[in-house]
Chain A
Amino acid sequence: MAHVSVKFTTAQRDLAVPPAAIRIPATFKRAALAEVVNHLLGRTDNPLPLDFLIDGTLLRSSLAAYLENHGLSAENELVLEYLVALPPPTPVAAFHADDWISAVAIASKDRVVSAGYDGVVRVWDTTDGKTVSKHQVAAGVVPLKAALVLPPSEEQDASVLRVAVAGMDQKVTIVDMAAKLETDGMAPPRPICELAGHTGAIEALAHVPDLDQLFTASWDGSIKVFSTKHADLSSGTAPPAAKKARRDATPSTTPSLPTIPALGSMYGHHGAVTALSSDAATRTLFSGGHDHGVRVWDLSTHTTVQTMTCEKAVLALAYSSTSRLLASGHADPIVRLWDVRAKDSTLVRSRLAAHKNQVVSVAWAPNSAWLLSSASLDGTVKVLDVRSPGQPLHVVAPAVSVPKWQGGKDGEKAPVAKRLCVAWGEGMVAAGGEDCELQVWRAEESI
């Protein structure tokens, strides 16, 4: 198996090479193949980074290894589709927060919202790395677990980001954060209301803009529906004066907020519901929980359409309207992809093995059918390609040690800092975790 004959094709017409088959050594890997193609293209002085697809799978090994793994003979002619490789995300900025960052949301091209275990919501300017706005959710330390930027509406001031954060206090706090840094300093955030009703910590939020509804997943096993209409939010009833007085008596600095009850509850999961994702186009909600199940909810009837189970607890969900795939992170290192519309959708369509520990957050590239990013407890953030199930496309953030590690005896090495959240949008990947740093990368979705 010294040589195999390959035929190079491409979808990009300007990079097409002659369709003749070429015999090349079977030991060639991606770099050598790229060199061959660049040679054929006459770009020896300015080579293009290329990736090669065989049967819809990115070539990540030598041709010989590929043939052997697939039980193919060297007599076969391989058709290699090449495409310009995606460059790895480039770091844009890293912002230091005071505590673990547990949730991150990308608001606009230069605004990233983060929530942390200290109960603080921050709006960051990715251009200069400054905190644009900051809001302490509750008086005590309320670890926040989820953050969401609600889309702007007509009534909303353009300079304001409406953010929904939720955490262990079992409430969703809607707060208007300033999107711009005033010349005289941070504009004070304006909490709007609290969405209450859960009896357990809230783990995930999902918003469906068409319905203008917010969905919350909680440890109490229910998913609750809240209206995010401006009118509804502002019509919240303020807590009774007596209670307010009592709260004031406690060393609380934040004033009590009006509490808005849920529109309804969706029950189905056994145990905690830990992940949510929504498909606005089809008005579908996806939820995953500790019962190892992923449920598909029809939002017009608020009933479970489908239940898909796997062997591990679901920790994260992300739906891509582009690829129409649902990606899920689990208590094992595997990212599972579900094709919700397929007939056998109860089965995992493919598994992406990229991490070494639980995958606690996944995020699709908004405009790509293949790319998604994942954050794991092994401390890494990776860009995965659906076409490359065995290996990640890029390691965005390598594992780092816990900063300021003091514990441990006998010079024990500092443990790896866990990554807890990742978001992808506006050409940016943002991730945060135990190292208290919000890191932002600029990532291309396609060439």
Chain B
Amino acid sequence: MAGRSKRTPTRRAPAAAPAPPKARAVPAPSAQSRKRRTRDPDSDDSDATAAPQAPSSATSAADDDSEDDDDFMAAEIDGGSDSDSDPGSDAGDDDEDEEGDERYAAIDALTPEQFMRIAGPILKERLPYLAKQLAELSDGELDGEGDDEYRPDGDSDEDDAAMDGDDEDDDKEGEDDEEDEDEDEEDAGSDSDEDDERVEAGPKIIPGPEIIPDTDSDDSDADLDHVNTVGNVPMEWYNDYPHIGYDLDGKKVMKPAVGDELDKFLSKMDDPKYWTSVHDKQDQKDVELTEDELAIIQKLQKAEYAADGFDPYQPTVEWFTSKTEIHPLSAAPEPKRRFVPSKWEHKKVMKIVRAIRNGWIVPNKPKAEKPKYFDIWGADTAESRDDHPMHLPAPKMALPGHIESYNPPEEYLFTEEEKQAWLDADPEDRKIDFIPQKFTSLRAVPAYDQFTQNRFQRCLDLYLCPRVRRNRIEVDPDSLIPRLPDPKDLEPFPTALSIAFRGHTGAVRSFALSPTGQFMLSGSDDGALRLWEVATARCLQVWTLGEPVVSVAWNPSKSVAVAAVAFGQDVAILNLGSTTVAFGVATDAKTAKTTTTMLAGDAAPVAAANSASGQRLAPKCEWRRPTRALAAQGVAWTVHHGKPVATVAWHRKGDYFVTTTPNHGAASVMVHQLARKQSQQPFKKNKGLVITAQFHPTKPHLLVATQRYVRIYDLVAQDIVKKLTSGVKWISSMDQHPSGDHVIVGAYDRRLCWWDLELGVKPYKTLRYHQQALRSVAFHPSYPLFASSSDDGTIQIFHGMVYADLMTNPLIVPVKILRAHAPVNSLGALNLRWHPTQPWLISSGADGVIKLWT
């Protein structure tokens, strides 16, 4: 297409009228006619009619020579078979086509007599038509078609000049259109009937280009024209060679055979038209100038207009008259809008006026002066641009520091070793990419040799580094904290130390409050058991049991005054209603009598107990009468376990109590009945190291905490109900919510687990607040409170509200930390209990002090 666009202007540049689309088809006949025109009349004529036969007979050699030209040849043959044989007729003249050259050469081989015999009738028949065609079709057609291809440089002036006139002709005639073309032909060839016939014959020759609808007919025309396809190279290059170039296959395109000077001269003498022909070096042939061309040349020589019939003095047509008409063109009255101010104009103006009034438009506003120089170090480079909301400012370069200074402090300068190390290191491994240098003055600083490299790296950084716009999420950190009620709204809970119970000399491991909360029993490692009045911390009585007291449990029943005290391998059943006990005075007579009556009598024989329960077990527990010393202190019974007892806990009705003796096999958990003085072993198998056991506050269930699990057994169905998985390493203590639906467990690995038994066997919450192992956990029997004590000496108090609504999860809020007991031998707060009626907490510690927190 480039070729076309380049060619087209040359051919049609002067033409003002645009070429209609079909213009491409037009040149074909013109080209063909032009060819015929340029041929020697005698030889030309031969090929036109010989075309049907000639290719088969005469062009066989040509086919052999260039197979690659088949397509082209086919086109040639189809489109204008005459053209194929045309060149052959120009045996003595310059060839038109390179491919044709061969054939021409073949044709050239024919003797003139032979050639004439073949082509003569055709030529005779067609010559008049061709001559007329040539005369009609403008010179421009010829020149335009061929000027860029084979026109000698020297001819360009003439051609251009000729084209001007020709184009006008073209336009006028509309020759671009094929049909117009036909008409033109008819018009032109109105001389005779024969001409008309030939005109009809013309299209028969033309169809060649039409076959290829999409191919630019200009190109095909050009192809037809350019018989020489060596390309646009200066022909003088091949002056000394027998060929004039190379075809597409690299084969030589031979020059046509030329006779010697004598032949030339003779033919010159013979040829009457010699004087009117010019030699086309590219096509290696003589082109005969037509009459018109000669006429044009003559006109030009006479300094006249080249075009025929151009009248330079034709009258002027005044399309736009200079005269003013005094009468209106229309008699209609003038419309009203001509006289009233325009509403829309007014609106437009008012819009502007309003904008000016509101200050949106400031008339005569001085233009913001653009800074002459751009401050690349200015802060605005990092700012977001108004015109680009997603603008990502380039990362700033680090500002130079002292080390970059031309006169850096001494400590920045490299020592020899550092310098050597810097030089030895890979450029990627260097911490800085230059060696700090010291100069006497800024004048002495040389140009920065790394400047280009530096800039290059910076550019790489800027465009290779992906930049991401990070949207900062504006979150108030406080809002991320779960909304917990203010502890002040959750009062009452213990906040301050009220009373310290002093007297024990050893760590107080366990204590128990009376059901009313008036008294407290505490047992200590020093082997003492003490009775206190809670309100005043008055120690009312001291028992000396001899062995460390590890667990104390006060019978919850109000009708009896009994406590169970685990010390050593025994559990002492203490008759608190006895007159020998200080508490006895605080026990009303009825309760004391009931207690005494219940504790009287003999223990049930162990064997009987075993047979009654249907178990064949060796007696692991024995109810014994206390020693005289213990009996004097009010101990009614001792239950001997054979292994150290760890915990003791009462059933809520006060008749049964459960003891645990770790490392006692299946007898680790024993259930004892107070009224019958009888012990039972509920489990046949040992399920692990038993830590503690408790009765369920409402159901006939027994909870047994082993090292990692809490198992809930149904004592009636004699089946396991649940096995709670704690996830802790070693449980230390356990307590149940008074409703019985929640269990908390403290562990030595500092965790506190809360199970909602409705929710499952996994802890609902696992809390880790303490710094050290948990020692004790406890639910308040009536207030929504629970607490945990730890070896770090602190007690954490939580608000643990349990809702009756099953859909609402328990609310756990830490409300208070009490620094209760100073750790002694890394033992801190060992035990804690809640006051049964008040929101008071009682804690005991390894320091031997019991503290009441209110």
Contacts and interface: CB of A to CB of B under 8 A. Distances in A.
A204 interface: no
A405 B499 CA distance: 16
Contacts of B516: 200, 219, 271-272
A315 B854 CA distance: 13
B141 to A, nearest CB: 112
Interface in A392-447: 407-409, 415, 418, 420, 434
A169 B586 CA distance: 5
A138 to B, nearest CB: 7
A199 B588 contact: yes
Main secondary structure, interface of B, reads loop
B436 to A, nearest CB: 63
Contact of B533 (A140, A142, A143): A143
A42 B315 CA distance: 140
Given A250-B579, A311-B492, A272 B498 contact: no
Given A271-B516, A358-B498, A313 B582 contact: no
Nearest to A102: B536
Contacts of A415: 500, 502
B838 interface: yes
A331 B839 CA distance: 11
A200 B517 CA distance: 12
B498 A168 contact: no
B585 A138 contact: yes
Contacts of A170: 585-586, 588
Contacts of A357: 498
Contact of A200 (B491, B500, B582, B588): B588
Interface string A309-322: 00111010000000
Contact of B590 (A168, A199, A358, A420): A199
A274 B535 CA distance: 11
Contacts of B517: 272, 290
Describe A's contact surface by its main secondary structure.
loop
Interface in B571-593: 579, 582, 584-586, 588, 590-591
A140 B579 contact: yes
A141 B582 contact: yes
A149 interface: no
A373 to B, nearest CB: 19
Contacts of A141: 582, 585
A142 to B, nearest CB: 5
Contact of B518 (A140, A272, A434): A272
Nearest to B837: A271
A387 to B, nearest CB: 27
A331 B585 contact: no
Contact of B536 (A290, A332, A418): A418
A174 interface: no
A140 B585 contact: yes
Contact of A332 (B505, B582, B588, B854): B854
Contacts of B847: 409
Contacts of A250: 579
Nearest to A313: B838
A358 B854 contact: yes
Interface string A172-188: 00000000000000000
A141 B505 CA distance: 24
B823 interface: no
A311 B492 CA distance: 7
Interface in B502-539: 502-503, 505, 516-518, 533, 535-538
Interface string A36-73: 00000000000000000000000000000000000000
Nearest to A203: B535
Contact of B838 (A169, A198, A331): A331
B548 interface: no
B540 interface: yes
Contacts of B491: 311
B848 interface: yes
A353 B848 CA distance: 32
A272 B502 CA distance: 25
Interface residues of A, number: 40
B498 A290 contact: no
Contact of B503 (A100, A199, A407): A407
Contacts of B848: 409
A117 interface: yes
A143 B854 contact: no
A201 interface: yes
Chain B contact patch, size range: 20 to 34
A377 interface: yes
A408 B849 CA distance: 9
B499 A219 contact: no
Interface in A259-305: 271-272, 274, 290-291
B556 to A, nearest CB: 16
Nearest to A358: B498
Nearest to A138: B585
A342 to B, nearest CB: 25
Interface string A209-221: 0000000000110
Contacts of A140: 579, 582, 584-585
Interface string B203-222: 00000000000000000000
A324 B535 CA distance: 29
A315 B847 CA distance: 29
Contacts of B535: 274, 315, 360
Nearest to A332: B854
Interface in B798-843: 837-838, 840
A282 to B, nearest CB: 30
Contacts of A291: 837
A431 to B, nearest CB: 15
Contacts of B840: 331
B577 to A, nearest CB: 12
Given A290-B838, A311-B492, A407 B585 contact: no
A201 B499 contact: no
B771 to A, nearest CB: 23
A418 B537 CA distance: 10
A357 B851 CA distance: 14
Contacts of A100: 536, 538
B502 A420 contact: no
A433 B123 CA distance: 158
A418 B535 CA distance: 11
Contacts of B499: 358, 377, 418
Contacts of B838: 290, 313, 331
Given A290-B838, A409-B848, A143 B502 contact: no
Nearest to B491: A311
A138 B586 CA distance: 13
B579 A168 contact: no
Contacts of A198: 588
A203 B323 CA distance: 135
Nearest to A196: B589
Contact of B585 (A169, A271, A312): A169
Contacts of A220: 588
B502 A142 contact: no
B828 to A, nearest CB: 16
B854 to A, nearest CB: 5
The 5 closest A-B pairs by CB, nearest first: A199-B588, A168-B586, A169-B585, A331-B854, A271-B837
Given A140-B584, A170-B588, A418-B499, 17 more contacts: A100-B536, A100-B538, A169-B586, A199-B591, A200-B518, A200-B586, A200-B588, A201-B586, A274-B535, A331-B498, A331-B838, A331-B854, A332-B854, A407-B503, A409-B505, A409-B847, A415-B500
11 contacts: A140-B584, A140-B585, A141-B585, A143-B585, A198-B588, A200-B516, A220-B588, A311-B491, A331-B840, A358-B499, A377-B498
Interface of A: 100, 102, 117, 138, 140-143, 168-170, 198-201, 219-220, 250, 271-272, 274, 290-291, 311-313, 315, 331-332, 357-358, 360, 377, 407-409, 415, 418, 420, 434
Interface of B: 491-492, 498-500, 502-503, 505, 516-518, 533, 535-538, 540, 579, 582, 584-586, 588, 590-591, 837-838, 840, 847-848, 854
